[in-house]
Structure 1
Amino acid sequence: MGRISRILGIAILLYPSFLFGEEKLLTIIHTNDLHSHLLGFSPNIDYSPLRTGDDQTIGGWARIAAVIKSEQITRANPTLVLDAGDFLMGSLFHMVAREEALELGLMKEMGYDVVTLGNHEFDLMPHGLARILNSAHQKGGMPQIVFSNPVFHLDSTEDDTLEESFKKGIVKPYIIKEIQGIRIGIFGILGKDAAEVSPFARPMKFRDPIETSREMVKILREKEKADWVICLSHGGLRENKSLSEDDRLAKEVRGIDLIVGGHTHTKLEMPLMANQTMIVQAGAYGEYVGVLDLAYENGKMKLKGYKLVEIDDSIQAEEKIHKRIESYISLINERVLKKENLSFYKVLAKTDFDTRIAEDESNLGNLTADSIRWAINRIDYDRDDPVTKVVVAVESNGMIRDDLLKGKTGDVAVCDLFRTVPLGFSRGDDSMGYPLITCYLYAHEIKKTMDAVTSIYPRKGNKFFLQVSGLKFKYNPNRVIFDRVTEISLGNEEEGYKPLDYSE
């Protein structure tokens, strides 16, 4: 009788867990838009990751690695480490991505489980991305990459090598992770805006992200019997809800439990809820790491806790990762900078003030545009032929990616200068960096260009604002679009400005 009582007692104690389901915990650690910012910034030369309390830099992958390790150690439950794309392009380290795939190799060592592709992963064209993937595969592997909405061209051969990487399973449309008996389906998509700003992906195209997501959810729920569905979305969030792709995704596609977002560099202090879908995003450039504690009970996912960890000088970096990153600098010096008589930390200038990018005109924008005009005239201007002199230079805000800060010393090093305007690729010879192009314009064409700027950027965002050198202009934002400029002058600060007659 005593034995029967003990059995009944145990059965009564266990009955609630059988009836209601035992709560199972899972922690999601997530980043997005890391952009090859392997070192803390700005400036890189101040970054001292193995010491704390002695610099003002933020970010740094060795610090991120330390946070991932710390969050895993302090929890008894399992973790998933995820990234929502654009891990490439943004510093000197991406200059050897095709040969070395430094970023993907590091992410694997740091503990990333699954990542997706962003628009900047396509900056080196499909065959360039294929080289990166194959290099990572040959040099020790990478996190699993999921990407669900590619459309390869049926006739062109220009995307064949990338298509082959997908067929080999280096990139998969989705994966299933089984953790504590929970089947978790993970897929990745590129949003519409990100696709629009991926010109070098051609001839490859991208399926509609909403349509693709519906298909992925159906496969994961019905075929793969997933309990949870996670979307790694390089679509993003915006204040204008009609342009906020992850909001729309959550509202229009039922069955996604969690969207780990990227592309818009949005810092979310807490997850957003849209219908039954949770949305998170962690800024950009490794400034933050999101830590999401979830519970699974009775077939449902619920939030247990969330925090954004600021990656700054209070965090002592993971030494092994830091040393690996430091070892890459000599590689960059030898393969990229030596031929230009440069080195990674070579100081090229001094400054006693910060130069920063802004939504419209800025001191960094002026410096960038002035530098372009100066550089072309230094190389291509024939003093015996005045018409060869470049009098106006422009650069879009979207190409200027980082502030140039004085830091502790005021030294301006090669690595920090490069990070301000790091992007670009030449289709002609597969070389890195955008080519500088000169052309002749009539005065009325300059006016039309400035009208386009003042009409488009208020609607499309500050990335479309043009920083200018060699001219000044005034405009009335209340005038009809494409006829807002009221005055243009050409010249410079040293010689003065003269009005431009732009009548046709």
Structure 2
Amino acid sequence: MKKLTKLCILWSLMTSVLLHTLYIPAVNAEESSQTLTILFTHDLHDNFLPVESVQNGDKQYAGGYARLYSAIQTVRAQEQNVLLVDAGDYSMGTPFQTIFQTDSPELRLMGQMGYDVVTLGNHEFDYRAEGLADSLQTAVNSGEPLPQMVQSNITFPVDHDGNLTDSLEHLKQSMEDYGVKEYTLIERNGIKVGIFGVMGADSASKAPMSEVQFEDEVIHAKRVVDILKQEGADIILCLSHSGTWPDTSKSEDEILAKKVPDMDVIISGHTHSTLEQPIMAGDTIIASGGCYGENLGRIDISKQDNVWTLLNYELQPINETIPEDKYINQQIQNYKTVVEDKYFSLFWKTYDEVIARSPFSFPRLEDMYPVHNESTLGNLISDGFIYTVKEAEGEAYEPIAVAIVPIGTIRGSIPEGDITTAEAFSISSLGIGADKLPGYPLISAYLTGKELKTLCEVDASVAPLMDDAQLYMSGMNFTFNPNRLIFNKVTDTSLVNEQGDLEEINDKKLYRIVAGLYSAQMLSVVGEKSFGLLSIVPKTKEGTPITDFEKYILHDGDGNEIKEWYALDHYLQSFEEVDGVSVIPEYYNHTQGRKVVDDNGNLFAILSNPNHISLVVYGVVLVAAGFVTFIVVKIVKRRRKKSFDFLD
């Protein structure tokens, strides 16, 4: 009997332990089903291959889709409910963009990597409406799995007769064929996630040739959020190509979160921000993971007491410690061959051809933006423009006074070591020419001497307000004082001739300038950015304002457009060779006094030599001060009179 009792007790204990063991996974499964992992990227810019940099003399490689995919797969193996999204600008920035229209490698690779949802960025419109339409159609025709695309504030403007242009009609049809939606609902283990996309005002302004328009993102976000709530979304996720800024009053996604508080998460692209910790705007999580696929962003949120709570936020570096996925790597190599066959062969070049060597590293692009001064990289590119045009024109060459390179058109830098054709392309990779081939061409125009001085003022006064406006120039030196009144910061300007001698600028004379197609077009809108106080109008040799810039594209002896990237490539090969390879001279390891910042806070330095704008401002201030003084004197006299009357 005692033995039977012991057996019963032992059986009860074993049963209890077994039930307890079985019960734990049941609890964990329930908790897991209420946890969502959001993996995110943005601003990939066609960086299929790792990005090279030099840190403390050592080469390092970050990003690359093959490693990125391995990191994604690792998380998928560990977590039950995973979403993978991208917040736009997945294209444009490396030679892979040259087959954007013909092969659509970006969307096809993202489909193979299992991206659930993506949105559009401004750079998806770099090849205009027609280019994006072709890319979408090519992706659809491939028959491969593709990510869902969402965009909620795009509109298609019509002409006076209510018709779309042929290119907009093509884009609209291609978006329909692809299945682009305002929003989508995705379910993960009973969790309904509503996802939509918007493009912000700053981003939209940087797609001037898109032909489409983007309406107020706040209005459309509110509208779509209301729809998603009605359709039962548990979580609302916004893919916003708007960005964040240090100045919260201008930080578009922070403003969006405050005005549309029912969004749970915003994946914020466009500004290439790297947020090591998310921005919390009320209950909305704003996340950014940097650019070029150098990080894989991760957000884990869990439902606790009927409220979604942030459990974890991290940016996983995509570096050499992560193995490359062989399949994705092979797909990239295949596309690399296509780039060589379809694009670089037109220039008698190959992707990995070593064209030059740099014995030093140029400043990184991310280090150039915060600093308002001369850049050795800007010097190199602008010098290359003049050199290549001179070579192309030969005996017919007419001297170029100034070559202009805005920082916004520079997409990469040069680390120490060998430089390939692909790397030269990536530095000046933007846009498309009239020949429908990728790469902005150079154009020739004329500016008066007064307008050349205005160029310097644009850099000095407008660049602090709009960072993409910072200019690097060959052929002109200038000095500015950042403490002086806006639009009157430049204190000295001079031209530099081919012999290196300084020349005084004649305000009324027309001088030849060279710039990229996009840069030249943007010069015409300087007036808008300066509230109409500055004016630059590119002209013909005869002084007639240019309206169709494509007519003034520069060509080589064979009639080919001189692309910005090709001008740099050609210049890089012009230097003295060592062991059969052109080597960048030490000259470009130092600045040359082309842009001098005179940070003088002395009152005389600030107020001396005012231009007409400053004189007007000073006049207004003096009149206002005089008026205030007059009022104060009147008030004092009246009070004194009342005091005397009281004494009487």
Tell me what 1:31 maps to: 41
Deviations 1:56-105 (A, max 9, x none): 11111111111101111122x21000000000000000101101000111
- Say whether the 8 Å CA contact 1:26–1:294 is kept in structure 2: yes
Moved more, 242-251 or 150-159: 150-159
Tell me what 1:50 maps to: none
Q: Which runs of 4+ in 1 moved over 4 A?
A: 20-23
Tell me what 2:96 maps to: 93
Q: Within the alignment, does 1:197 sit opposite 2:206 as a pair?
A: yes
1:481 shift after superposition: 2.5
Tell me what 2:51 maps to: 41
Q: 1:183 aligns with which of 192, 195, 200?
A: 192
Q: Provide the TM-score with structure 1 as the length reference.
A: 0.89
1:503 shift after superposition: 7.3
Report the Cα distance in structure 2 between the residues aligned to 1:55 and 1:314, rounded to whole angstroms.
14
Report the Cα distance in structure 1 between the residues aligned to 2:119 and 2:40, rounded to whole angstroms.
12
Moved more, 175-184 or 474-483: 474-483
Report the Cα distance in structure 2 between the residues aligned to 1:207 and 1:68, rounded to whole angstroms.
34
Aligned identity (percent) is: 35
Q: Within the alignment, does 1:496 sit opposite 2:501 as a pair?
A: yes
1:381 shift after superposition: 5.0
Q: 2:399 aligns with which of 385, 389, 394?
A: 389
Q: Within the alignment, does 1:379 sit opposite 2:374 as a pair?
A: no
1:483 shift after superposition: 2.7
CA 1:371–1:296: 2 relative to 1, 3 Å: same
Matched residue of 1:42: which SS?
Answer: strand
Q: 1:416 aligns with which of 416, 420, 423?
A: 423
Deviations 1:26-65 (A, max 9, x none): 111100000001111226xx9xxxxxxx951111111111
Report the Cα distance in structure 2 between the residues aligned to 1:165 and 1:473, rounded to whole angstroms.
49
Report the Cα distance in structure 2 between the residues aligned to 1:183 and 1:169, rounded to whole angstroms.
23
Which amino acid in the other structure matches residue 97 of structure 1? F
1:241 shift after superposition: 0.8
Report the Cα distance in structure 1 between the residues aligned to 2:425 and 2:315, rounded to whole angstroms.
28
- Say whether the 8 Å CA contact 2:192–2:235 is kept in structure 1: yes
Deviations 1:280-317 (A, max 9, x none): 01100111111111112343211111211111112111
- Say whether the 8 Å CA contact 2:100–2:135 is kept in structure 1: yes
Q: Within the alignment, does 1:173 sit opposite 2:178 as a pair?
A: no
Q: How many matched pairs?
A: 472
CA 1:503–1:486: 2 relative to 1, 3 Å: farther
Report the Cα distance in structure 2 between the residues aligned to 1:298 and 1:207, rounded to whole angstroms.
37
Which amino acid in the other structure matches residue 234 of structure 1? H
Report the Cα distance in structure 2 between the residues aligned to 1:217 and 1:424, rounded to whole angstroms.
34
Q: Within the alignment, does 1:431 sit opposite 2:441 as a pair?
A: no
Select the structure of larger CA radius of gyration.
2
TM alignment of 1:93-112, pairs within 5 A: 93-112=96-115
Which amino acid in the other structure matches residue 437 of structure 1? I
Which amino acid in the other structure matches residue 83 of structure 1? D
Tell me what 1:361 maps to: 374
- Say whether the 8 Å CA contact 2:136–2:178 is kept in structure 1: no
Which amino acid in the other structure matches residue 98 of structure 2? M
1:477 shift after superposition: 2.2
Matched residue of 2:101: which SS?
Answer: helix
Which amino acid in the other structure matches residue 199 of structure 1? P
Deviations 1:408-445 (A, max 9, x none): xx21110111111110122x342321121111222112
TM alignment of 1:105-120, pairs within 5 A: 105-120=108-123
Tell me what 2:232 maps to: 225
- Say whether the 8 Å CA contact 1:345–1:413 is kept in structure 2: yes
Matched residue of 1:99: which SS?
Answer: coil
1:448 shift after superposition: 1.5
Which amino acid in the other structure matches residue 131 of structure 1? D
Q: Within the alignment, does 1:244 sit opposite 2:251 as a pair?
A: yes
TM alignment of 1:463-502, pairs within 5 A: 463-491=468-496, 495-502=500-507
Q: Provide the TM-score with structure 2 as the length reference.
A: 0.70
Q: Which runs of 5+ in 2 are unaligned?
A: 1-15, 510-648
Tell me what 1:147 maps to: 151
Which amino acid in the other structure matches residue 369 of structure 1? S
Moved more, 205-214 or 133-142: 133-142
Which amino acid in the other structure matches residue 147 of structure 1? Q
1:110 shift after superposition: 1.1
Give the root-mean-square deviation of aligned CA atoms: 2.3
1:499 shift after superposition: 3.3
CA 1:22–1:86: 2 relative to 1, 3 Å: closer
Q: 2:303 aligns with which of 296, 301, 309?
A: 296
Report the Cα distance in structure 2 between the residues aligned to 1:25 and 1:424, rounded to whole angstroms.
42
Which amino acid in the other structure matches residue 489 of structure 1? S
- Say whether the 8 Å CA contact 1:40–1:60 is kept in structure 2: yes
Which amino acid in the other structure matches residue 196 of structure 2? F
Which amino acid in the other structure matches residue 106 of structure 2? E
Report the Cα distance in structure 2 between the residues aligned to 1:63 and 1:405, rounded to whole angstroms.
22
